[in-house]
Structure 1
């Protein structure tokens, strides 16, 4: 199993995007579409949203630009590997 990102709240592998905290959920990479980056200016928050089974869901939200960039790049790599497979 290829792990693209492992952190205290998120794990991204070639198969899934796992939210560990605060509400554990697992999203299959192949089921994520229309991934969007949202910047909430007033709160200085970075959010990563995607369409999953017809519903927009927030995959990740943080005020830390560096960790946001790492998660975003990991998701892009996981999605690219899924397309190539």
Structure 2
């Protein structure tokens, strides 16, 4: 039994595509058709800008609250601002990367066959599935 891909997220043989993401499922290659790639861009709904604004306001409030305790020296203000920024702003500046999905028609209904945010893994799975489907076509017709 030829194995075209074996990894932590999927296993592809000459008969079956078994995936663990988005949910553990098995698809018989003979029931698959219209397989295509869908690339989802990072969300741009404005929530990142709101979070950055909120974190900046929180950092400013921390500086104002610590002012009487630490005094008005520039070093104390800078240290308080840096600590507040590290605590509140760090996670707000991260952006989500692209998500890649493999869609196809399986036994008459459109399905999400595989999903990954790792471009390399996704490409390996796609190439293996193409090879497996070609192999199945060649051996079914002969």
Name the TM-score, length of structure 1 as normaliser: 0.92
Alignment pair present for 1:68 and 2:111: no
- Give the RMSD, CA atoms, in angstroms: 1.3
Which protein has the larger Cα radius of gyration, Structure 1 or Structure 2? 2
Alignment pair present for 1:52 and 2:112: no
Helix, strand or coil for the counterpart of 2:23? coil
Q: For each residue in 1:21-67, what CA deviation from the matched residue of structure 2 results, as whole angstroms up to 9, or x when unmatched? A: 56322110111000010000125101111100111111111111100
Helix, strand or coil for the counterpart of 2:18? strand
Q: How far, CA to CA, are the matches of 1:80 and 1:22 in structure 2?
A: 25
Helix, strand or coil for the counterpart of 1:8? coil
Alignment pair present for 1:83 and 2:137: yes
Larger proportion of helix: 2
Higher relative contact order (CA 8 A, sep 6+): 2
Quickly say closer, same or farther: Cα 1:57–1:9, change in 2 above 3 A. Answer: same
Q: Which runs of 5+ in 1 are unaligned?
A: none
Quickly say closer, same or farther: Cα 1:23–1:73, change in 2 above 3 A. Answer: same
Name the TM-score, length of structure 2 as normaliser: 0.57
Q: Which runs of 5+ in 2 are unaligned?
A: 44-97
Q: Kindly state the Cα deviation for residue 20 of structure 1 after the two structures are TM-superposed.
A: 3.6
* Count of residue correspondences: 85
Q: How far, CA to CA, are the matches of 2:116 and 2:19 in structure 1?
A: 13
